Structure 1
Amino acid sequence: MRSLTLAFVLSLSAFAAQADLVDDILDQQILPTMSALAGHSQALSQAAAQDCKSDSAELQQAYADAFDAWITVSHLRFGPTETDNRAFALAFWPDSRGKIPKALSAMIQNEDPAVKTPSDFATTSIAVHGFYALEFLLYDTELSTLGKEAYRCQLVRAIADDISDTSHLILKDWQQNYVAQMRTPGDRYQTRSEVKQELFKALNTGLQVTSDMRLGRPLGTFDHPRPNRAEARRSGRSLHHVELSLQSLENLAIALAGDNLALAADLQAGFSKARISAARLADPVFSGVSDPSSRFRIEALQQQINDIRSIADVDLGPALGVTPGFNSLDGD
């Protein structure tokens, strides 16, 4: 009887630890960062309403703050961000076929009236929505001067308003529905293990995006580097996005490690090594992929991120009792 009681107490303690792990991630990471995204996106909308010119310092700063907030949560590609393709509405990237500049150019040249109301703008191509479309209008030398300034102004405001609306819908869904579903499995998630699997998958996906896409796309191959494929290069944010992603993913990884101090230390050491390497690059848009010596340092950073992925797959996943599972990149 005593052994059965002890086993019951231990099982309750394990469940409580798992619950605390999930609650901590929700309360200390997901909800605050989703709230920050909504707040900064609203400030972006307000800045565009005040001054929609591409060279407006206030608009560019508001854009940078909101974009930072998105990159911080961009690995959380499940639940509210998946609904109605909201993540793609905020971030249509990578745009390997150049749909964004083509769609924006067509809208400006035709002075598409869809910019006049949010409902009409919602029906336009997803390529003219979100942070990457707005980057073209603020920083691309051709599109920031194409057509009439009055129409470009309307388009800038329409995109900024749409970013704000979408971000608030994501936050509302988290606050009113999704948090409860993750705290108390039984509907969308049947068990606590499924909740942990979702969070672990988000970590794995975030690391994969940073390694394979944020670094891999501009790296290309040694014979054919692709610096023009660097993310958000027009606004000089390519390396910055890697650094933001590493910071956010480290927070999630350490939280998932829970009270496994040795595992948390290994993860922290891996992230610290990668963050130091990124800071030392001094190459905001990865233009150095074309130079052998600079390329080596970028490749080294990519390998360090892959080393973190290995720790997650080999040690963190089994400690949690989960596997990476499928993500939005599978099959691409």
Structure 2
Amino acid sequence: MIYAAALIATPAVAGVEEAVNDYILPHLAAFTEAAEVLDDAAQESCEAEGLVGPYNAAFDGWMAVADVRLGPSEQGALSLSFWPDKRGFTERTLADLISNKDPVVEDQAAFEEISIAARGFFALERMLYDSQFNDYAEGDYACTLVRALTRDVVDQATALQAQWNDFAPLLLDPGSAGNTTYLDEAEAQRAIYTQILSALEFTKDTRLGRPLGEVARARPTRAEAWRSGRSLTQSVLATEAAVGLAEALADWELPETRAALDAVREQAETITDPSFQNIGDLMKRLDVEILQQKIDAVENAVEVEVGTRYGITPGFNSSDGD
């Protein structure tokens, strides 16, 4: 089933209405559609090679809203994007399911109760790209597991979209009767602004910072989605998403932010290994460090062009919350 974006009709809040109705809700709807395509492909044929395209398209769709950890997404995003997985829970949980041929894969409602480490895009990445898991055929237990995973992604996307339709009015009508989440317009604006800065900080400090490690000891296998070669894609898409949300929230031109984003894209073109597995080489490492600096410049531009205009000081700390 394809779900259209629902426009929430409530008293408008400057910038917040555009951020919700023109950015967040439409991208959630697009993600649901891409998840449907992935699941349809998996139900037709579960073999890994044929699912690579739909998987990447669905993951691309998710990245447009993956870093909006607000309202229902605060918890709902975790089981779609369980990363960083610092203790290897995904590998162990999937291995246990397969070795025990756990019948939970036959019951979709029960599957939703398993560990979040074995759900979402990073569990699917293991099943499609990791040689430990992707050597399966139609009729194997692993095939049924893949189909359970893709169906679960659709169910999560659909649920998250519905939950956002219920949550959005709180952002759009702050201070209304019964709305104790956002007491005034400034709180609603700050809540979304927080997500923008947090996304950019997470990208430069975690998506890029974790694999960079230390100069004498790079950690390439700590890169996000390196098995599927998406590490660079993740960072660029996350930055583009943050800028897209900033432009919606601002509802005015952001030339410095847009120029900084263009610089991120240009720098990304210089990186020869999109999985960051070559950053032990100091010159290759430098390319990623420069990308990190370019993303920092995007954050600085957003602070000046959006934060200052809304009266949020450049020293505002996004980790402080809404």
TM-score w.r.t. length of structure 1: 0.86
Match of 2:64 in 1: 72
Question: After superposition, what is the alpha-carbon deviation per residue over 1:39-68, rounded to whole angstroms, capped at 9, x for unaligned?
Answer: 111221211111111222xx2211111111
Kindly provide the amino acid, as one letter, of the partner of residue 280 in structure 2: S
- Give 1:266 shift: 1.7
**Partner deviation per Cα, 1:48-97 (whole Å, 9 max, x = no partner):** 111111222xx221111111111111111111212xx3211101001111
Deviation per residue, 1:84-125 (Å, 9 max, x gap): x32111010011111101110011000011111112112211
Secondary structure class of the residue paired with 1:108: helix
Q: Distance in 1 between matches of 2:217 and 2:144?
A: 39
Structure of higher RCO (CA pairs closer than 8 Å, 6+ residues apart): 2
1:149 & 1:126 partners in 2: Cα distance? 25
Contact 1:130-1:162 within 8 A present in 2 as well: yes
CA RMSD of aligned residues (A): 2.0
Q: Which has the higher helix share?
A: 1
Contact residue 54 and residue 139 of structure 1 kept, 8 A: yes
- Aligned equivalents of 2:63, 2:258: Cα separation in 1: 20
**C-alpha contact (below 8 Å) 2:125/2:228 kept by paired residues:** yes
Matched residue, 1:28: 22
Q: Cα–Cα, structure 1 residues 147 and 45, in superposed 2: closer, same or farther, change >3 Å?
A: closer
Q: Does 1:223 align with 2:226?
A: no
- Map of 1:126-145 to 2, 5 A cutoff? 126-145=116-135
Q: Select between 73-82 and 280-289 the one with higher mean Cα deviation.
A: 280-289
Output aligned runs, 1:50-89, within 5 Å: 50-56=44-50, 59-82=51-74, 85-89=75-79
Count how many residue pairs are aligned between Structure 1 and Structure 2. 304
* Matched-pair contact (CA < 8 Å) for 2:197–2:318: no
Does the residue aligned with 1:159 lie in a helix, a strand or coil?
helix
Q: 2:195 matched to 1:202?
A: yes
Residue of structure 2 aligned with 1:152, choices 142, 156, 161: 142
- Structure 2 residue ranges without an equivalent (≥5): 1-10
Question: What code does the residue aligned with 2:306 have?
Answer: L
TM-score of the superposed pair, with normalisation by structure 2: 0.89
**Deviating 4+ runs (over 6 angstroms):** none
Q: Hey, what's the Cα distance between the residues in 1 that align with 2:25 and 2:223?
A: 30
What fraction of aligned residue pairs are identical, expressed as a percent?
Answer: 34
Cα distance in structure 1, aligned partners of 2:243 and 2:73: 21
Instruction: Look up the match of 1:181.
Output: 170
- Following superposition, the deviation at residue 148 of structure 1 comes to 9.4
Matched residues in 2 for 1:147 and 1:269: separation? 47
In structure 1, the residue matched to 2:7 is: none
- Distance in 1 between residues matched to 2:295 and 2:264, nearest whole Å: 6
1:252 matches 2:242:
no
Map of 2:204 onto structure 1: 211
Distance 2:21 2:209 in 1: 33
> What is the alpha-carbon distance in structure 2 between the residues aligned to residue 146 and residue 226 of structure 1?
30
Matches within 5 A, 1:1-332: 19-56=13-50, 59-82=51-74, 85-145=75-135, 150-175=140-165, 177-186=166-175, 187=179, 188-259=181-252, 261=253, 264-313=254-303, 316-322=306-312, 323-326=316-319
- Larger-gyration structure (1/2): 1
Structure 1: segments with no counterpart, 5+ residues = 1-15
